[in-house]
Structure 1
Amino acid sequence: MSKNIVITGARENNLRDVSLSIPKDKITVFTGVSGSGKSSIVFDTVAVESQRQLNETFTSFIRNFLPKYERPQVDAIDDLSVAVVVDQKPIGGNVRSTVGTMTDIYSVIRVLFSRHGTPSAGTAAAYSFNDPSGMCAVCDGVGRVVALDLDRAIDWTKSLDEGALLLPGLSVGSWEWSLYADSGRFDRTKPIAEYSAEDRELLLHGADFKVRLQLKSGSADMKFEGIVSRFSRLFLKRDTAAMSEKRREAAARFTVDRLCEACGGARLNEAALATRIDGLNIADWAAMEVADLVEVLGRIDDPVAAPLAAAARERLERLVGIGLGYLSLDRETSTLSGGEGQRLKVVRHLGSSLTGLTFIFDEPSVGLHPRDVGRLNELLIRLRDKGNTVLVVEHDPDVMAIADHVVDMGPKAGTDGGLAVYEGPVELLKEADTLTGRCLRRRTPLKESFRTPAGWLPVTGADLHNLKGVDVRFPTGVLTAVTGVAGSGKSTLVSGVFTEAYPEAIVIDQGAIGASSRSTPASYIGVMDTVRRIFAKGNGVQPGLFSFNSSGACAECSGRGLIYTDLAFMDPVTTTCQSCEGRRFHDEVLEHRVKGRSIVDVLDMTAAVAMEFFEDKALLRKLRTLNDVGLTYLTLGQPLSSLSGGERQRIKLATRLHRTGSVYILDEPTTGLHMADVDTLVALLDRLVDAGNSVICVEHNMDVVKRADWVIDLGPDGGKHGGEIVFEGTPRQLLDHPESFTATYLRRDLAA
């Protein structure tokens, strides 16, 4: 059996006929700048082909329900094993998905309570908030209820005739308003605040009688329904998808989201919450930090319960080991960051007894403080030592250090990338004449001098989530790095408290950008309208002719440039449109030119070439923003969906540049960036500050910390052990701090 995965002639995206031999049962790290082809080789070639061939082993009936994968552009891939992809995509899930349910730890704890808790509520299902036998009947196991806010629904100072009822459909004179005004039960001229308790209850919740109304078509007996009951029936206890957007928005103005009073947010019914182990119910356990719950489980020594407790404890200890001990089992998965979600996926796979798999990780160090990267490395090594192949797309030198084999992609990005410029051990990469090799050989020094703050933006008494009444000042006119281990409260302080106190701040977070196959860099930064007007004016035609989403689109492929054919039970096939040859426009459009170039020629230009081609000042100003963030190699018409994560984050930043006197907030802007790209980013941040702006970065990257003017370090640890200001001052002052984890790793980085 071959000891290598052999790839021959890979040509996905920008790959240029790449052939590789990847060792099995080893850790291979793929490096290179954003857009160099790392993801194209690992995810779009190896992972897709593995999953495609695995799906072929199922019957045609089952394949019809599975995701369909198109055969990647590669001559051959030999000796593949089944691939398990652990990506950065948000876990998502609805309000019923929690850390406990996702990791299956809550299922073990439910069994433990059913067998060991007193008094028992029944089987394990009786402790599930997703099962009718265990869920709270009032909130259906969600823990929160959306209810009508009476103070928004009623103007208590007015009477019915004066328009006291503010809900949709209840305007004075409407037939629905007449249900109350003409019922004969209320004084139409008396303010609602002066109603007796009985009349108020009847208005809000009354039923069981009819009111004769005079309608245009005649009289009719209508069933009386209190306004709360009516609103709940029309807007809260029905599928609102069928309602118009305008009606949904109108109803949303009158509702409030609050904890369920019946279960106190615990999601479970009384019987489930009555069961106790050592005085605590299952909701108390789920609300504990994972690290604390490990200790609680360790105290159980009952012969029947001990094996279950040990099983739950083992899984929880994996969470602690990967730096997620600050989470609780009742934390909704939709609130987790990409890095937290990725680590949870790792924990799930660690419990598997399967071997011989290929685990593929997409930058698993994202969101991790340098202290926690070591814990991540231990997990990757454990996966390898169980007999698996581990492929990691990564920029962190600490992760590269544990690699058995490294593949460096490059030499640059986009059309200048797509080649394997180095293959071999990481020690020799440090000596190689590649961009990654050169970056590994150098260390960014600490800044010699620091800017003086122009002023201060204070935050006082911050107590959101785990923050412990924090008082802190954010300096203006400088570059500030907010640091601390995962769960220490950085994002809560900056993205939660600070942005609420200073809503005018420009926030550039890690949220996805619109990236359909029809979105391009040109459309995203807002230059396409100008380009179309230039072509329209120069040729005396309508601007819509130069849009592949409008009248200029090729009729055969609807402006996509590709024909997607779904062959039912077989793999889908994507072919270049023969009519327009992939250009997206019909032939008439190509006859119209500016400076001898067609619209297709312009969309094929890189941003760098386009800056030399155009003369329009507003258009050039927007194109220069791509240069500012290091993306001039992108072509104007490249689909945004083909960009890497690092490229997407920087193109989002490009649209928010060149505002003076603003406060910029960036949430881990080095996410997905190569060491060389970090230099470009920090240079950009320096320019923003020099232009009169204040920049605040939530960041783990030590190169950013070393180039900052001010550091706010939170901790000392995560969860309940965090939420405090550990340090405020310059990076040089931080070096001498005896307790800060950030200080420890900053000293280590400078000494390397």
Structure 2
Amino acid sequence: MAFNQEQHITTTGTAPEASINPPALDGEAQQIEVYGAREHNLKNINLKLPRYKLVVFTGISGSGKSSLAFDTIYAEGQRRYMETFSAYARSFMGGLERPDVDKIEGLSPVISIEQKTTSRNPRSTVGTITEIYDFMRLLWARTSDAYSYVSGDKMVRQSDDQIVNHILENFDGKRIVVLAPVVKGRKGHYRELFQQIRKMGFIRARVDGELVEIAPKMQVDRYKIHDIEIVIDKIVVKEEDRYRLSSSIQNALTHGKGTVLILDVDTDKTHFFSRHLMDPATGIAYDDPAPNSFSFNSPYGACPVCNGLGEIQEITEESVIPDKDLSIRRGGIAPLGEYRDIWVFKQIEALFKHFKASVATPIKDLPEDLVKVLLYGLEEELEVKTKKGDYIIEFEGIIHFLKNQMESESDNIRSWVEDFTQTTTCPECNGYRLKKESLHFKIDGKNIGELSVLDINKLYAWFENLEERLSERQNIIARELLKEIRKRIGFLLDVGLDYLSLHRPVRTLSGGESQRIRLATQIGTQLVGVLYIMDEPSIGLHQRDNERLINALKDLRDLGNSIIVVEHDKDMILQADYVVDIGPGAGIHGGQVVTAGTPEEMTKAGTTTADFLSNRRGIEVPRVKRPGTGQLLKLIGATGHNLKNVTLELPLGKMICVTGVSGSGKSSLIHDTLYPILNTHFFRAKREPLPYKSIEGLEHIDKVIEVDQSPIGRTPRSNPATYTGVFTEIRSLFAQLPEAKIRGYSPGRFSFNVKGGRCEACEGAGMRTIEMNFLPDVYVPCEVCRGKRYNRETLEVRYKGKSITDVLDMTVESAVEFFENQPRILRKIKTLNEVGLGYITLGQQATTLSGGEAQRVKLATELSKKDTGQTLYILDEPTTGLHFQDIEHLTDVLHKLTDKGNTVLIIEHNLDLIKVADHVIDIGPEGGEAGGTIVASGTPEEVVKAAKGYTARFLKEELQSSHYRENGADGTPQQEG
């Protein structure tokens, strides 16, 4: 949904009173009142928030916004809800601890919508979590028409009377045999079946097209495929024999489970009739459709080849023989490695001897038929005659061998085989996930799979006037279903997700996308009187799409709900009804309400946030851009997903921003095409890039590093100190202390992950897990070390009066001062401080870091390394979760990284970062199928001048209100003053 430049929100104020729902009822609380909030770094906060308003919490990263919104208000709301359950019900769910707050009054039922991806399950899709696909399954089950997957003809179903009438009309005077099919295309000896048929009183059957009498101990070849039908009756068709014919047909339909075969004796042709859906030409019958017939999570609907996943793991020739210049002796077969004296190589040698070839010959020079045998095995045994005697060669082939190993019970073996597999679209269902019968039920010529892969815009257009294309009967059934489907698709459009498809797996969505899907689902529930708390729903949204998101939040508010949004987006803050700025700093320097009021009141305040919002302060734009190295990295012909034969030119030695509306193809081009190519080239990674033609200029860079927002560790044992490697240096320092040397302590003594210096009661975790049987496990500080992780002897070794535990509990900011005389340690800690993480502790659990914080830890780790100046860094939305002041810090860090001669490539929507880039590449113009092309490229000013695409429009406004800084003679940015 596009909107004019005039519609872009640049000024603010509260929304008109008329747009906000009516006042609360008499006696109902008008405010949410928080007293004495002390969770994490909050400093005894007292705060009153208006109900039925859109309230934004803002402030620099680590100031305490999430502590107040999620860990205090939401946690208390959730706890109160749990207390409404019976003691018996609570015993299964476990209790929730009361947050550290004196009291909260006026609290409504609370729903939290966070950035976490809803599900990692490959079976969970946009369609399933929004329930749109569930309504579509019901629609297809009730109104679709079935077509034969063989002839393409429309399937028919007939009643018993229709079948009899048809036979009387078309077979009048002919001799026919009425047959009941009981076995179709299956192996087996069927001895018991024949005995059962005889007991029912039938003496003849047709077996594989031949009429036979059933002998007492009759059976057939168990290894062959058979068709078996019971001979119900032999009759000459006449009107006066209608009763006999009707009885025989009903008998046949009963034994044939709704299907009857009529054999024309004179022509020896069979004709199929069925109570179910059937193709009369081929005899193919479908079960009556039900909603689960169209579910890829049900055995009734899932494709039998891929089990409803839409893709299969395939072992490819390229993965088994990656380099055909190598010989087998030198490791040409990747799974086997170099030649060793083992059985499989002896088999290969014998095989090569028979084909008169050598294992020392490069694979590219071997005969094609020999390579085929090597990969896929011998069709039959080879008998080899030698002077020493005859022997047999049986060779199953490397690919068949690996496929067999995929079924191994050993995790290690399966993991080893996965290195040689590639994920490909299922050839049976073409990625639609459903069995072929389900894909041949159609409405207006479309099956449910074809619609699932359409983007939401096209899907909405297809459903818009569907009634006009349906029959009267279909219209009556579909009317209510279509209303529900259109309404839910409309909600997805409202939150800017028009480029997604229902088929899209949820695990591939960004945090912002999954959060907006849940927001769309909540709007659809039409709940009233609820408090919604959201965590940066604008993440991943282009400025063009922000307007739709803000309107969606206002719609949710106008239904009669209260909304709290933790947000840094300027438009969102200015469009809010009420803003709470928390700070003034991060960590121990934050945790206070700096200002609270309407956006107009807030911008007049003298706070850091107000200065940025009112343009009194801004991120300076360098007047002169970096010249770069003059070299290019050129990716030619990228066609993955929605990319339309894109040629990407990256000028090296510059800071480059890749922009574009959501779903335009940025991630497809950079994350899914360029990065896997470079990663495979430099580090022999296995991940396959999306399709492309060629790449040029690899010789101009020496490595690629992707700094993403994935966690730095998935267990509480991981922390910034261990991830950056500074903990190794700290442990070495402690091991060099006189006290440690006297005691003979090595650096390992100061590790909480190995035996020796750690507390063995909690194994260095600092916490003990108490199993509570029916209740969830409880974590309590270890009673031996009291959460310190180490034993008493280790803690007696001190540096400047601090033990190893004291160091882990230090904030990064304190550690910079503490280790000022330790250059090896200081270099790494200082970079953590420079990227704005001074407020986190060195030993903070990785599981408590946000995606943006994890990304900055990684960035700091890379900055602290000594580099060659020819590295390509790829960052995906590094401004996520960052306040304007933090973005200012981040910009300086990225400038430093680029000034060393590196190339920094950033996928970004934030205009503050885009405007300071040396080079901008805008992809679009729209999302989904309407995107996938490079709309404009050049300096930010050149992109604005080109006036193509949506980015240019918003970037122009940003540059007009920007602060500029002068540059040095070499073009590198120099800070004013």
Question: Normalising by structure 1, what TM-score?
Answer: 0.88
- The match for 1:45 is 72
Please tell me the residue identity of whatever aligns with 1:625. T
- Matches of 2:661 and 2:590, distance apart in 1: 34
1:503-558, Cα deviation, whole Å (9 max, x unpaired): 42221122222153223322221111221121122121322332333433334444
**Residue 221 of structure 1 aligns with which residue?**
none
SS in 2 for 1:688: helix
Amino acid of the structure 1 residue aligned with 2:425: L
Q: Which residue of 1 aligns with 2:169?
A: none
Change over 3 Å in CA distance of 1:260–1:656 after alignment to 2: same
Give runs of aligned pairs for residues 159-178 of structure 1, distance below 5 A. Answer: none
Query: Quick check: which has more Rg, 1 or 2?
Result: 2
Choose which of 116, 135, 150 in structure 1 pairs with 2:143: 116
What SS does the aligned partner of 2:935 have?
strand
SS of the counterpart of 2:736?
helix
Aligned residue among 132, 149, 160 for 2:299: 132
Which residue number in structure 1 is paired with residue 966 of structure 2? Answer: none
Residues 566 and 162 of structure 1: is their aligned pair in 2 closer, same or farther, counting only changes over 3 Å? closer
Q: Which residue of 1 aligns with 2:127?
A: 100
The SS at the match of 2:423 is strand
- Residue aligning to 1:663: 872
1-structure distance, mates of 2:376, 2:63: 69
1:66 is displaced (CA, Å) by 3.3
Question: Compared with structure 1, are the counterparts of its residues 300 and 681 closer, same or farther at alpha carbon in structure 2 (3 Å cutoff)?
Answer: same
CA distance in 1, matches of 2:375, 2:706: 46
Q: Does 1:439 align with 2:612?
A: yes
Q: Is it true that 1:277 corresponds to 2:277 in the alignment?
A: no
> Contact (CA 8 Å) 2:712, 2:719: kept in 1 or not?
no
State which of 44, 49, 57 in structure 1 corresponds to 2:84: 57
1:742 to partner: Cα distance:
1.0
Does 127-136 or 606-615 show the bigger shift?
Answer: 606-615
Opposite residue 528 of structure 2, the aligned amino acid is T
Structure 2 CA distance, aligned partners of 1:75 and 1:554?
35
> In structure 2, do the counterparts of structure 1 residues 536 and 142 end up closer, same or farther at CA, with 3 Å as the change threshold?
same
Instruction: Give the distance between the partners of 1:661 and 1:178, measured in 2 at CA.
Output: 46
Contact 1:625 1:655 in 2 (8 A): yes
What is the aligned partner in structure 2 of residue 549 from structure 1? Answer: 753
Please say if 1:641 is aligned against 2:847.
yes
Give, as a single letter, the amino acid of the residue that structure 2 aligns with 1:300.
L
Please give the secondary structure, in 2, of the residue aligned with 1:735.
helix
Distance change >3 Å, CA 549–CA 79, structure 1 → 2: farther
> Corresponding residue for 1:76?
103
Q: What are the residue-to-residue correspondences of 1:12-23 with 2, within 5 Å?
A: 12-23=39-50
Equivalent residue number for residue 354 of structure 2: 189
Structure 1 residue 399, shift from structure 2 partner: 0.7
The corresponding residue for 2:233 is: none
Q: Which residue of 1 aligns with 2:733?
A: 534
Cα distance in 1, alignment partners of residues 675 and 349 from structure 2: 46
SS at match of 2:945: coil
Pair 1:407-2:580 in alignment: yes
Evaluate the alpha carbon distance shift between residue 269 and residue 595 of structure 1 in structure 2; reply closer, same or farther with a 3 A threshold.
Answer: closer
Task: Determine the structure 2 residue equivalent to 1:461.
Answer: 637
Partners in 1 of 2:530 and 2:707 — Cα distance? 37
The answer to whether the 8 Å contact 1:552/1:589 transfers is yes
- Offset at 1:93? 3.0
SS of structure 1 residue aligned to 2:47: strand
1:52 and 1:267 map into 2 onto residues whose CA distance is 40
Quick one: structure 1 residues 635 and 176, their matched pair in 2 at CA, closer, same or farther if it must change by over 3 Å? closer
Structure 1 residue 59 displacement after superposition: 3.9
Whether the 8 Å contact between 2:377 and 2:400 is mirrored in structure 1 is no
CA 1:392–1:174 in 2, change beyond 3 Å: closer, same or farther? same
Q: d(CA) in 2 for partners of 1:477 and 1:168?
A: 41
1:667: how far off?
A: 0.9
8 Å CA contact retained: 2:944, 2:952: yes
Quick check: 2:710–2:851 contact (8 Å CA) kept in 1? no
Q: Hey, what's the Cα distance between the residues in 1 that align with 2:376 and 2:461?
A: 53
- Further displaced range: 54-63 or 572-581: 572-581
| Cross-structure match for 1:249 | 415
Q: CA deviation at 1:721?
A: 1.0
Aligned counterpart, 2:432: 266
**CA RMSD, Structure 1 to Structure 2 (Å):** 3.6
Deviation at residue 368 of structure 1 after TM alignment: 0.6
Aligned match of 1:8 = 35
In the alignment, is the contact (CA less than 8 A) between 2:317 and 2:375 conserved in 1? no
2:651 is the counterpart of 1:475? yes
Task: Tell me the distance in 1 between the aligned counterparts of 2:333 and 2:636.
Answer: 40
Distance 1:85 1:409 in 2: 20
Output the CA distance in 1 between the equivalents of 2:62 and 2:883.
10
Instruction: Look up the match of 2:856.
Output: 650
Report whether the alignment pairs 1:525 with 2:724. yes
The letter of the residue matching 1:362 is: D
Distance 1:18 1:35 in 2: 16
2:575 match: secondary structure: coil
Q: Residue in 1 aligned with 2:815? A: 610
Say yes or no: does 1:490 pair with 2:666. yes
Name which of 883, 907, 920 aligns with 1:698: 907
Q: Distance in 1 between matches of 2:421 and 2:110?
A: 46
How many residues were matched structurally?
Answer: 731
In structure 2, relative to structure 1, the CA distance for the partners of 1:561 and 1:18 (3 Å cut) is farther
Give, in angstroms, the shift of residue 439 of structure 1: 1.9
| Matched residue, 2:705 | 506
Matched, 1:715 2:946: no
CA distance in 2 between counterparts of 1:709 and 1:612 reads: 35
Question: Would you say the 8 A contact 1:29–1:406 is kept in 2?
Answer: yes
Contact 1:291 1:326 survives alignment (8 Å): yes
Task: Tell me, yes or no, if structure 1 residue 297 matches structure 2 residue 463.
Answer: yes
Render the CA deviation track for 1:56-79: whole Å, top value 9, x for unaligned.
333445435436533222222233
Number of the residue aligned with 1:449: 624
Residue matched to 2:896: 687
- In structure 1, list runs of 5 or more residues that go unmatched: 208-223
Contact 2:920 2:937 in 1 (8 A): yes
- Give distance in 1, aligned partners of 2:114 and 2:960: 33
The aligned residue for residue 353 of structure 1 is 526
Unaligned 5+ runs, structure 2? 1-27, 148-285, 358-366, 382-393, 680-702, 962-977
For 1:349, what is the secondary structure of its paired residue?
A: helix
* Residues 83-138 of structure 1 deviation map (CA, whole Å, 9 limit, x = unaligned): 21111112333222211112111111122222222128611221112222222222
* Equivalent residue number for residue 231 of structure 2: none
Matching residue's letter, 2:749: L
User: Would you say the 8 A contact 1:34–1:644 is kept in 2?
Assistant: no
For residues 127-183 of structure 1, the C-alpha deviation after alignment (integer angstroms, 9 at most, x for no partner) is 1122222222222222222244468679999xx9999999789x999899999999x
Compare 620-629 and 670-679 and name the one that shifted more: 620-629
8 Å CA contact 2:314, 2:423 repeated in 1: yes
By how many angstroms is 1:190 displaced?
4.6
Aligned mates of 1:282, 1:506 — CA distance in 2: 41
Give 1:210's aligned residue.
none
Displacement of 1:417: 0.9
Native 8 Å contact 1:515 1:639 kept in 2: no
Greater Cα shift, 435-444 or 393-402: 435-444
Give the drift of 1:392. Answer: 0.6
**Cα 1:379–1:176 shift into 2, 3 Å:** same
Which structure has more relative contact order (CA 8 Å, sep 6+)? It is: 1
CA deviations over 1:270-306 (Å, ceiling 9, x no partner): 2211122222211111111111111111231142323
Structure 1 residues 249 and 685 mapped into 2: Cα distance closer, same or farther (>3 Å)?
same
Is the CA contact (8 Å cut-off) linking 1:63 and 1:569 kept in structure 2?
A: no
